[in-house]
Structure 1
Amino acid sequence: MTLATLANKRILLGMTGGIAAYKCAELTRLLTKAGADVRVVMTAAATEFITPLTMQALSGHRVHLDLLDVDAEAGMGHIELARWPDLIVVAPASADFLARMVGGQAGDLLTTLLLASRAPVLLAPAMNQAMWLNQATQDNLLQLRERGCHIAGPAAGSQACGDTGPGRMLEPADIVSECASLYAPGLLSGLHLTITAGPTREAIDPVRFISNHSSGKMGYALAAEAVQAGARVTLISGPVNLPVPDRVHCIAVTTAQEMLEASLESTEHSDVFIGVAAVADYRVSDASDHKIKKSAETLQLTLVRNPDIIGTLAQKSAAKSPQRPLIVGFAAETQHIEQYGREKLQRKNLDLLFANDATATFNSDDICATALWDEDGSQTLGPANKNLVARQMLALIAERIRARQTDA
């Protein structure tokens, strides 16, 4: 079991009334640190032990308190919230709350969410030892287990009331481990990937620009599949007409210079950089501030080289070995595809490169590519749908990461 399995998971933390509520501050911090997105729901009793403001600061999201929320109810907010999580964690789960769960009550927001959600539920009980040992509580727990709820704890020890025995809520780190144990590790669990996608646009004047035919589909497919493989993904995207994949952090850029700056910043904290974007090689040296009027028969533009994004990153990262991220490039060619791809791989000091036929790829849902690495490593991927090929590409990336770790 590894905490990396919590990367990208959406966890709804439900807090009920009990002194152990103070531990939820640390629980939220640890879940967030593990890569989970945490939203908090508090019962009225829970707010007597720790403030919603504290939980909001730690989760980074507004804390949900009321079933009938005027701001949220226009969009049936409680139902949307019930559909949101991958996992619901109730901590502390008081004896009263367990009893209300068994009875299927929906008198507050948290009990309503539990009835309306299909997400798995993990309960972390906390109560006086006599209440825990009471047959009514044990019968309630048996029913909840039979319904599929996971029970984490409780621990035994001294309690706030002065008693000693079972009933203490598990420590936050133990609850996080219980959450992580519910998920199998993904191919890229715990890794941060930065992916560039789409074209760049270089202005000629306020209404005209230089660009290319890139649709962004390959980069977006890689981002979506990387999330499914457990990675945290930053997508740096030029102008495209595609929805941002779920759970992907997207940074929208326009020019090559903007893409370079965003890539440099994101790669400081990345394990892998994948340069899929079709970056314009040149830009106009002196773009006009106003629309150029049609007057002469010809118009002459002076172009200058744009920055080499992946080359810059590979060179900069090489100086930081062994923390250097894995640098993965793409080569969209129209002839001598493997030859030119191999030359680019070596010239730019890349770890892996995918070469493909540009004329058959732009705006298409399918792709055929040749993976190239080392002096003679190669593998043909596709032809197939870009999402399927993206999975094959990510599997090769995971292999290169493991190979590098073995060498190290």
Structure 2
Amino acid sequence: MIEKLLLGCTGSVGVLFIPSLIMKLRKEYRTQIEVMMTKSAQRFLTPYSLEILTGMPVATDLFDSFQHNHINFIEAHKVFLIAPATASMISKIANGIADDLVSLSACVTVGSTAELVIAPSMNIAMWECTFVQENVAKLRKAGVHFVGPSRGTEIVNFKEATTAMASDDEVVQKLLELFSPATTT
């Protein structure tokens, strides 16, 4: 069972698919989801739409309120999912750059008992960039979990690619693995 989830959304066009993931988690698993969004994610999808889907306020700024304190977020959740994750966000986390609510919360998560799951979504040239791959390897070594990227269609040019954000089912499967009793101590 996936009880509570912290979801960080970044500015990839893949964020347009987040409502279906939220609906699946809420409908099939009765998951309570708290969302935080970067400013660039908000250019694709409004916080209000995710508030309607989650029934919870969406955190959009590091200084929104004390309730949106990054420490409070991490302490209240076992798993922090960043979906979609841009190359920029992956690089920020790997290098300890914490200049927005999502990257700051991710850096805190890596140093805590909570699990960080990243679902990359970017153009294939960006995904295959040496620097991005070095950052992915660095994060994996630090215990960060990745789900995807997966085979899909790039929205920008409608070409088949292997860098689409993982499907809802793939993300849910990864979350179920992390929430299973065998992984909790």
TM over 0.5: yes
Aligned to 1:14: 8
Equivalent of residue 23 in structure 1, options 17, 21, 42 = 17
Structure 1 segment 9-408 matched on structure 2, within 5 A = 9-33=3-27, 34-69=29-64, 72-73=65-66, 77-117=69-109, 118=112, 119-162=114-157, 163-185=159-181
Aligned residue-pair number: 178
Whole-Å separation in 1 of the counterparts to 2:71 and 2:9? 18
Whole-Å separation in 1 of the counterparts to 2:176 and 2:63? 32
Cα shift readout 1:279-324 (whole Å, capped 9, x = no counterpart):
xxxxxxxxxxxxxxxxxxxxxxxxxxxxxxxxxxxxxxxxxxxxxx
Q: Percent identity?
A: 29
Cα shift readout 1:183-231 (whole Å, capped 9, x = no counterpart):
3259xxxxxxxxxxxxxxxxxxxxxxxxxxxxxxxxxxxxxxxxx9xxx
The RMSD of aligned alpha carbons is 1.8
The amino acid across from 2:149 in the alignment is: P
Whole-Å separation in 2 of the counterparts to 1:185 and 1:86? 13
Whole-Å separation in 1 of the counterparts to 2:154 and 2:181? 36
Greater than 6 Å deviation, 4+ residue runs: none
Cα distance change, pair 178–76 in 1 and its aligned pair in 2 (3 A): closer
Secondary structure of the residue aligned to 1:182 is helix
Aligned to 1:404: none
Larger Rg: 1
Whole-Å separation in 2 of the counterparts to 1:135 and 1:166? 17
Length-normalised TM-score, structure 1 = 0.42
Deviation at residue 54 of structure 1 after TM alignment: 0.8
Aligned to 1:393: none
Deviation at residue 136 of structure 1 after TM alignment: 1.3
Query: 5+ unaligned residues in a row in structure 2: which ranges?
Result: none
Deviation at residue 78 of structure 1 after TM alignment: 2.8
- Contact 2:115–2:144 (CA<8 Å) still a contact in 1? yes
Deviation at residue 79 of structure 1 after TM alignment: 2.2
Deviation at residue 84 of structure 1 after TM alignment: 1.2
Query: 5+ unaligned residues in a row in structure 1: which ranges?
Result: 187-227, 229-408
Secondary structure of the residue aligned to 2:178 is coil
Aligned to 1:356: none
Q: Higher helix fraction: Structure 1 or Structure 2?
A: 2
Cα shift readout 1:261-290 (whole Å, capped 9, x = no counterpart):
xxxxxxxxxxxxxxxxxxxxxxxxxxxxxx
- Contact 1:41–1:64 (CA<8 Å) still a contact in 2? yes
Secondary structure of the residue aligned to 1:148 is coil
- Contact 1:125–1:154 (CA<8 Å) still a contact in 2? yes
